[in-house]
Structure 1
Amino acid sequence: MHQRFNELVTEQLETMDKLLYLQSEIERCQELEEELMKLQEMTKVESLQKEILSKKKELREIQQVFERQTDEVILSYQKEQSSVTT
């Protein structure tokens, strides 16, 4: 039982790494978007905006996975605790 809990936590940490990476990518793209707007590079801005939207969608999906993983970790922990106390 303890091993499953550790596996779940490890998976969740990997998901957190993906979340952090994606958030930093979105921030980088938004900074680039601002620069391109200043330079009036509207074609590039539109392309970048599509990329930002795509990354935000992916971020939401990963956040949902993270939330499910959190639920699994909590459930696993509760099961482990109940087996220890009984």
Structure 2
Amino acid sequence: MNKFNRLVSEQMDTMEKLLFLQSEIERCQGLEKELIELQEQAKLESIQQEIASKKAELKEIHEMFEQQTEELIQSYQDVRALV
């Protein structure tokens, strides 16, 4: 059961990272829209790079979350098999 609890805790941490990155992407996209409207190309390119970087990080964390979910399910099934 300790493995199960550890996996749940890790998954909760990962979920927090996912939610944070999603909110950061939304914030950056809002800035991107404002900069497009202001036609500040240099700043626009910078924020677009930041968005791309955060999306790549989000993808990595999402993949980690999926892997943790699979481990969590397997751990739960292992515990249930012992009962």
| TM-score tier (shorter) | over 0.9
Does the alignment pair 1:11 with 2:38? no
User: Higher Cα Rg: structure 1 or 2?
Assistant: 1
> What's 2:53 paired with?
54
TM-score by length of 2: 0.99
RMSD: 0.4
Unaligned 5+ residue runs, structure 2? none
In structure 2, give the amino acid aligned to 1:68. Q
| 4+ runs deviating over 6 angstroms | none
Count of equivalent residues: 83
> What's 2:19 paired with?
20
Identity %: 60
In structure 2, give the amino acid aligned to 1:17. E
> What's 2:44 paired with?
45
Residue 26 of structure 1, CA deviation: 0.2
Unaligned 5+ residue runs, structure 1? none
Mapped to 1, the partners of 2:66 and 2:53 lie a distance apart of 20
TM-score by length of 1: 0.95
SS of residue matched to 2:39: coil
